[in-house]
């Protein structure tokens, strides 16, 4: 019996493999070490296009922020009412007092600016961007395309003046300094008067002065579904949200509606913000 033997190669045995492998690695290391430095980023790779991490500014809430926020809302009212006046949606009689409202809002902004400077802050004499994008723009669009722009313009003016009154009263409870509370409420009382005046002009002849918070039989909406503004909606001054309905009826049988609210963290004009 013969034992088969594997053919032996004289050219490539295990020892040769180890020798050639070591030689290749050594040569690679030598060439890398001697290679020219062409620069380039050696940091770990990143996903995305941002140049650097963005640090969020610190939004400290204090009296100056409350005052700046109300100053911005005064300017929001100026912009809104001016747009409605320019579109010719008010009667001559209405325009008389709405124009007075505009000048009152400008004056209020000046008063607030004085309070802000006295408190060591920077005035913010321009409109509130959040309110512009969330409320003013869509509301103006709804009024412009309405089946009754005059009706809507009055209701819009009333709703925004009411929102302003609620906002001032709400911030009185948050402000720390008594002088700021007094300043806020002084302007808040004026806003309440404007709101009551509009309510009186719009609806008192048909629905009376006193709302459901006082008279249990007072209606909340008109037959068409518009909220009724009352000169005195409740016994005490209110701070709740205000339902506003405007615009033409859409394909689904509804109109544009929104809830106007008192300022909160997303509406505040922080001290790091500028016009």
Partner 1 sequence: MTSTRDDSPQLNEPDFRRKLLAGGSAALAMTMIGGRSASAAGLSSTELDLLKFAQRIELSLHDLYDEALQVDKGSAAWTIMADSHESFAQAIAGFAGLSANERNEEVFGSYRAAMRGTDRAMTAYELESIAALTHIELLGKLSDAGSAEVIASIASAESRHCVVLADVLGSGSDVAMTLTNSAQPIEA
100 lies in the binding site for partner 1 (CB under 8 A): yes
Is residue 62 exposed (0-12), middle (13-18) or buried (19+ Cβ within 10 Å)? middle
85 lies in the binding site for partner 1 (CB under 8 A): no
165 lies in the binding site for partner 1 (CB under 8 A): yes
Centre a 10 Å sphere on the Cβ of residue 20 and count the other Cβ atoms it contains. 11
Among 106, 174, 218, 219, binds partner 1 (CB under 8 A): 174
Least distance between partner 1 and beta carbon 165 (Å): 6
Among 149, 192, 261, 267, binds partner 1 (CB under 8 A): 192
Phi, psi dihedral angles at 260 (to 5 degrees) = -85, 135
In angstroms, the CA 179 to CA 193 distance is: 21
Single out the segment in contact with partner 1 by CB under 8 A; choices: 35-43, 68-76, 124-132, 188-196.
Answer: 188-196
C-beta closer to partner 1: residue 33 or 205:
205
C-beta closer to partner 1: residue 146 or 169:
169
By C-alpha distance, which of 162, 170, 151, 152 is closest to 69?
170
190 lies in the binding site for partner 1 (CB under 8 A): yes
Question: What residues from 193 to 222 belong to the interface with partner 1 (CB under 8 A)?
Answer: 193-197, 200-201, 204, 209-210, 214-215
Single out the segment in contact with partner 1 by CB under 8 A; choices: 119-127, 149-157, 229-237, 245-253.
Answer: 229-237
119 lies in the binding site for partner 1 (CB under 8 A): no
Q: In b/e form, how buried is each residue of 24-52, taking b as 16+ CB within 10 angstroms?
A: eeeeeeeeeeeeeeeeeeeeeeeeeeeee
Centre a 10 Å sphere on the Cβ of residue 83 and count the other Cβ atoms it contains. 18
**Can you say whether the dihedral through the CA atoms of 82, 87, 89, 93 is positive or negative?**
positive
C-beta closer to partner 1: residue 68 or 180:
180
Single out the segment in contact with partner 1 by CB under 8 A; choices: 6-14, 49-57, 237-245, 252-260.
Answer: 237-245
Centre a 10 Å sphere on the Cβ of residue 56 and count the other Cβ atoms it contains. 6
Is residue 233 exposed (0-12), middle (13-18) or buried (19+ Cβ within 10 Å)? buried
273 lies in the binding site for partner 1 (CB under 8 A): no
- Determine contact, residues 108/135, Cβ cutoff 8 Å: no
Residues in a beta bridge with 88: none
Binding mask 40-79 for partner 1 (x = CB under 8 A): ----------------------------------------
Q: Which residues bind partner 1 (CB under 8 A)?
A: 93, 96-97, 100, 104, 165, 169, 172-176, 178-179, 181-182, 185-186, 188-190, 192-197, 200-201, 204, 209-210, 214-215, 231-232, 234-239
């Amino acid at each position: 019996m013969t034992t088969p033997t594997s053919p032996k190669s004289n050219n490539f045995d295990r020892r040769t493999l180890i020798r050639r492998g070591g030689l290749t690695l050594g040569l690679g290391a030598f060439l890398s070490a001697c290679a020219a430095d062409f620069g380039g980023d050696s940091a770990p790779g990143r996903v995305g296009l941002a140049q650097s991490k963005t640090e969020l500014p610190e939004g400290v809430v204090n009296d100056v922020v409350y005052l700046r926020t109300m100053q911005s809302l005064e300017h929001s009212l100026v912009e809104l009412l001016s747009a409605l006046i320019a579109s010719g949606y008010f009667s001559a009689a209405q325009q008389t007092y709405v124009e007075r409202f505009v000048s009152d809002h400008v004056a209020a902004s000046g008063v607030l600016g004085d309070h802000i400077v006295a408190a060591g802050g920077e005035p913010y004499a321009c409109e509130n961007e959040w309110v512009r994008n969330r409320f003013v723009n869509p509301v103006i669009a709804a009024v412009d395309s309405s089946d009754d722009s005059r009706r809507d313009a009055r209701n819009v003016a009333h709703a925004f003046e009411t929102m302003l009154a609620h906002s001032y009263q709400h911030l009185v409870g948050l402000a720390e300094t008594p002088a700021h509370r007094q300043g806020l409420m002084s302007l808040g009382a004026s806003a309440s008067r404007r709101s009551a005046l509009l309510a009186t002009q719009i609806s008192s002849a048909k629905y009376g002065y006193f709302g459901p918070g006082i008279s249990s039989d007072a209606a909340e909406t008109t037959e068409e579904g518009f909220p009724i503004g009352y000169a005195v909606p409740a016994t005490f001054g209110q701070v709740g949200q205000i339902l506003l309905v405007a615009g033409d009826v859409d394909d689904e049988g509804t109109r544009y509606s929104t809830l106007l609210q008192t300022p909160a963290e997303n509406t505040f004009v922080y001290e790091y913000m500028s016009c």
